């Protein structure tokens, strides 16, 4: 007798649906018009007031898009398909506060605003249905005009650069050629080969995949550089090809060109393709090859590793036409002992002599800021121990004259700030050296929170004199010093109850006058109470978070609230640095689509910017105890909100985006602290990123147990709380492939867990379409209402279970 088996399979269906909206209290803020931004001229007496629409529509995202060479291209308009635009602009007189209307194209899509050297005009682009146009606005007449009837190409490069005359521009036009034919039938297999080279590669996306991609990339990245007059009548052709960067020399006698060449790589993005660096003498058209740089596929393992050979070729801003670049003296391998890790070289025009060594760095070269009076500021870093050294360079003697700062760059309390720049005679930014001192602007990390400052650094004593520091109850941030009067400072000022606006501060008279009067576009947020809280986790590390509740909330009358904890973990090498306060109690409450603050308006206690430090102890790598430290952080946060009499321990949700999503999944897998979780655009299986991730530089083969230990996918059977997974279908962020969420959802489903997977069409790592954002908020709100606020309580819920 045959046995007949019956299998009953119960599964929720896969379905598509229309976009939905969250409750009005949330959706109204997404649909609000954003606050304008200011683009100041160099003098600081005028600013463009730039306005943009809110979020794009899904129709905008649905335009034709090519993804090749590690970039995303609009092949119709020859621009980035992910560009953000302004829709209008006006002129703000800083001294009087007058807002002056400017003539410009109607229904425009504006970007790349740039003041002319004499500040009498502003150049910008306008993207139409057919292409990118170049426009000029005259500040005196307030009128705009199109410079040329030809369309620009800004796929890989900035679309224009001013000449110092202010009457001409160097522009990047589309190459005048027909679209190449694309084969629909493959001509053969795709083959890659390696020959005993250690070549760890990141998980890049949107790479070249076949010969058709090669053809399209070469065609679309081709530009023609032309020198044009402002009226567009005079045009001089200069160069053509796959230019990925160009820059006029400060004296504008030469043009520096970085030109991509074949063969293209199938492993890395276009900016690591082989290329030639050359100069063109604009007077006689003679060319000099500076470097022929091979494909950058092979690098040693580690975050302090870099490519062999020449890198970062640029003009010195303090000289007429002198190049500088960096070369690794350790073959790019930080494990190699060397006499100086990097060497900085210079080469004078006409670039016929040998290169001259300027200096050697002990750490990896980071940047150099050229200044007046034969001085410069050098910054070098080493990721491994977070060491940063800032030095004063005597350019004339070609030596490091003095170390100014030797610190950990993640130590915000010791951050001295950054130098203030000024324009020199070549219209280039240089450090303003003033009688053995420079002016600095910093964020002002302190135990009281951020207190931005303006200071003078004495280069002899290496001591700072504070000229201005933000004072409670305000958060006031220096923006720009006037070039006419060093006592006049433009700041952005806000408080817990006052919307950010720009002010003109007289440092000598200690007066402050308001320039802009922007109103809060998110009025409903004024219904919230904000409190910065400080607490400790059980091993003594200081933590902080910002708690939002309705201003009318009364714990005695309303009882405890459901809680949403939103966080993003960060790694630190010391307990001291991990314990530092990284927020301000005096900032005005602002919001964007990814914020958790919406749910304070829905009756939750929201813990935003919740610190989740992962610390390396006694020489250990931070991630060696990643899970345990995450749970300690979460326990401390929950204990604090409960001890405050605000939060309900049994109704706490947790969420995060990207690495915060990874955190969320781990917390659900390895604790029973939470009622539910929300994970957006995360990575859950670390074997998909085998050559390192986030701040972990060990490879999977060096530490397989660590990769399994940290991957919530490997522990999906322990996720017994509901988790909402949201991901953009076209996420091109390194490591957070859309398949990460798909596979994690299937793993949870396969073990009988509760989960929902929402894939947002056309969206990348961050979400841009209004429809997508509103639907995301709808899903999050529905999930929190069902599984956190209205969670059915059980006697033993909310207790941490060690067996996880």
731 as an active site residue: the answer is yes
Q: Per-residue pLDDT for 199 more than 80?
A: no
Kindly report the average pLDDT of the chain as a whole number. Answer: 93
Structure confidence at residue 183 (pLDDT): 80
Structure confidence at residue 181 (pLDDT): 82
- Mean pLDDT of all residues in 607-634: 94
Task: Write out pLDDT tens, residues 313-353.
Answer: 999 999 999 999 999 999 999 999 999 999 999 999 999 99
Structure confidence at residue 53 (pLDDT): 87
Q: Which two tokens stand for residue 496?
A: 């817990």
Position 193 confidence tier, pLDDT thresholds 50, 70, 90: confident
- Mean pLDDT of all residues in 666-677: 98
DSSP class per residue in 551-590 = TT--HHHH-PEEEEEEE--EEES-HHHHTS--S-TT----
Residue 255 pairs with which residues in a beta bridge? 248, 280
Are 77 and 66 within 8 A, CB to CB?
no
Structure confidence at residue 182 (pLDDT): 83
Position 15 confidence tier, pLDDT thresholds 50, 70, 90: low
Which listed residue (104, 657, 670, 765) is catalytic? 765
765 as an active site residue: the answer is yes
pTM: 0.92
> Going by DSSP bridges, is the β-strand pair 88-93/99-101 parallel, antiparallel, or unpaired?
antiparallel
Structure confidence at residue 793 (pLDDT): 60
Q: Per-residue pLDDT for 707 more than 70?
A: yes
Position 801 confidence tier, pLDDT thresholds 50, 70, 90: very low
Are 346 and 358 within 8 A, CB to CB?
yes
Which listed residue (650, 731, 772, 775) is catalytic? 731
C-alpha distances (whole Å) from 206 to each of 34, 98, 465, 629, 636 are 31, 47, 49, 35, 41
> Going by DSSP bridges, is the β-strand pair 375-382/387-394 parallel, antiparallel, or unpaired?
antiparallel
- Mean pLDDT of all residues in 136-163: 96
Structure confidence at residue 530 (pLDDT): 95
- Mean pLDDT of all residues in 654-680: 98
Alpha carbon distance 60, 74 (integer Å): 11
Alpha carbon distance 725, 677 (integer Å): 9
Edge-to-edge, what's the strand order for the sheet holding 463-469?
Answer: 418-419, 437-442, 453-458, 463-469
List, in sequence order, every beta strand (DSSP E) within 65-186.
66-68, 71-74, 79-80, 88-93, 99-101, 110-115, 121-127, 132-138, 144-146, 160-162, 168-174
Determine the straight-line distance between the first and last CA of the chain, rounded to whole angstroms: 47
Q: Which two tokens stand for residue 508?
A: 């000598």
The residue among 305, 306, 309 whose CA lies nearest residue 291 is: 309
Residue 437: Cβ within 10 Å count: 18
Which listed residue (172, 595, 658, 764) is catalytic? 658
Alpha carbon distance 494, 478 (integer Å): 12
- Mean pLDDT of all residues in 455-484: 95
> Going by DSSP bridges, is the β-strand pair 342-348/356-361 parallel, antiparallel, or unpaired?
antiparallel
Position 620 confidence tier, pLDDT thresholds 50, 70, 90: confident
């Amino acid at each position: 007798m045959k046995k007949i088996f019956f299998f009953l399979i119960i599964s929720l269906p896969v379905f598509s649906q229309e976009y939905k909206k969250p409750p009005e209290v949330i959706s109204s803020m997404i649909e609000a018009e954003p606050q304008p931004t200011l683009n100041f001229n160099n003098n600081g007496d005028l600013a463009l007031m730039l306005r943009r629409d809110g979020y794009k529509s899904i129709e905008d995202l649905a335009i034709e898009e090519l993804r090749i060479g590690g970039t995303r291209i609009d092949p119709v308009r020859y621009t980035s398909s992910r560009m953000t635009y302004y829709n209008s602009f006006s002129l703000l007189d800083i001294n009087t506060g007058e807002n002056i209307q400017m003539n410009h194209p109607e229904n425009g899509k504006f970007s790349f605003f740039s003041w002319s050297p004499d500040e009498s005009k502003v150049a910008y682009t306008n993207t139409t249905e057919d292409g990118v146009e170049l426009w000029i606005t005259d500040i005196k007449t307030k009128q705009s005009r199109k410079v040329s009837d030809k369309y620009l190409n800004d796929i890989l490069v900035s679309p224009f650069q001013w000449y110092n005359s202010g009457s001409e521009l160097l522009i990047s036009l589309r190459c005048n050629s027909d679209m190449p034919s694309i084969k629909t039938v493959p001509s053969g297999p795709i083959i890659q080969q390696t020959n005993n080279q250690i070549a760890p590669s990141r998980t890049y996306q949107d790479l070249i995949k076949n010969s058709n991609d090669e053809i399209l990339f070469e065609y679309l990245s081709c530009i023609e550089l032309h020198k044009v007059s402002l009226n567009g009548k005079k045009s001089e052709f200069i160069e053509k090809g796959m230019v990925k960067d160009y820059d006029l020399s400060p004296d504008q006698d030469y043009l520096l060109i970085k030109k991509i060449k074949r063969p293209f790589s199938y492993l890395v993005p276009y900016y690591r393709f082989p290329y030639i660096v050359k100069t063109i003498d604009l007077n006689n058209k003679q060319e000099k090859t500076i470097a022929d740089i091979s494909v950058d596929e092979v690098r040693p393992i580690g975050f302090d590793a870099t490519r062999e050979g020449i890198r970062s070729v640029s003009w010195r801003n303090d000289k007429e036409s002198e190049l500088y670049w960096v070369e690794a003296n350790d073959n790019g391998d930080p494990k190699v002992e060397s006499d100086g890790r990097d060497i900085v070289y210079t080469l004078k025009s006409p670039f016929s002599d040998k290169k001259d060594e300027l200096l050697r760095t002990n750490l990896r070269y980071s940047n150099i800021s050229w200044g007046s009076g034969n001085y410069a500021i050098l910054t070098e870093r080493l990721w491994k121990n977070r060491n940063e050294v800032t030095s004063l360079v005597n350019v004339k003697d070609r030596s490091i004259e003095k170390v100014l700062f030797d610190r950990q760059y993640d130590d915000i309390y010791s951050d001295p700030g950054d130098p203030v720049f000024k324009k020199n005679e070549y219209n280039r930014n240089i450090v303003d050296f003033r009688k053995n001192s420079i002016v600095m602007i910093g964020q002002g990390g302190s135990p009281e929170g951020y207190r931005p400052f303006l200071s003078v650094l004495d280069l002899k004593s290496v001591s700072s004199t504070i000229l201005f520091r933000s004072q409670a109850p305000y958060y006031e941030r220096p923006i720009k010093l006037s070039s006419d009067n060093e006592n006049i400072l433009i700041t952005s000022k806000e408080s817990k109850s006052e919307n950010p606006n720009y002010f003109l501060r007289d440092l000598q008279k200690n007066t402050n006058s308001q320039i802009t009067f922007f109103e809060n576009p998110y009025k409903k947020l004024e219904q919230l109470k904000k409190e910065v809280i400080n607490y400790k986790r059980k091993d003594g590390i200081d933590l902080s978070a910002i708690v939002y509740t309705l201003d009318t909330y009364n714990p005695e009358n309303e009882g405890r609230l459901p809680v949403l904890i939103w966080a993003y973990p960060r790694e630190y090498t010391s307990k001291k640095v991990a314990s530092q306060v990284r927020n301000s109690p005096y900032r005005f409450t602002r919001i964007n689509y990814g914020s958790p603050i919406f749910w304070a308006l829905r009756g939750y206690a929201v813990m935003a910017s919740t610190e989740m430090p992962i610390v390396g102890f006694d020489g250990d790598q931070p991630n060696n105890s990643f899970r345990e430290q995450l749970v300690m952080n979460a326990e401390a946060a929950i204990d604090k909100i409960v001890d405050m009499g605000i939060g309900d321990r049994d109704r706490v949700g947790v969420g995060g985006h990207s690495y915060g999503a990874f955190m969320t999944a781990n917390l659900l897998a390895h604790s029973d602290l939470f009622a539910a979780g929300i994970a957006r655009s995360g990575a859950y299986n670390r074997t998909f990123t085998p050559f390192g991730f986030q701040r972990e530089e060990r490879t999977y083969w060096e530490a397989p147990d660590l990769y399994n230990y940290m991957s919530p996918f490997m522990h999906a059977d322990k996720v017994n709380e509901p988790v909402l997974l949201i991901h953009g279908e076209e996420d091109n962020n390194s490591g957070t492939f859309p398949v990460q969420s798909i596979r994690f959802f299937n793993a949870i489903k396969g073990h009988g867990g509760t989960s929902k997977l929402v894939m947002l069409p056309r969206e990348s790592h961050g979400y841009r379409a209004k429809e997508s954002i509103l639907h995301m908020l709808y899903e999050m709100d529905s999930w929190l209402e069902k599984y956190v606020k209205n969670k059915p309580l059980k006697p033993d819920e909310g207790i941490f279970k060690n067996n996880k």
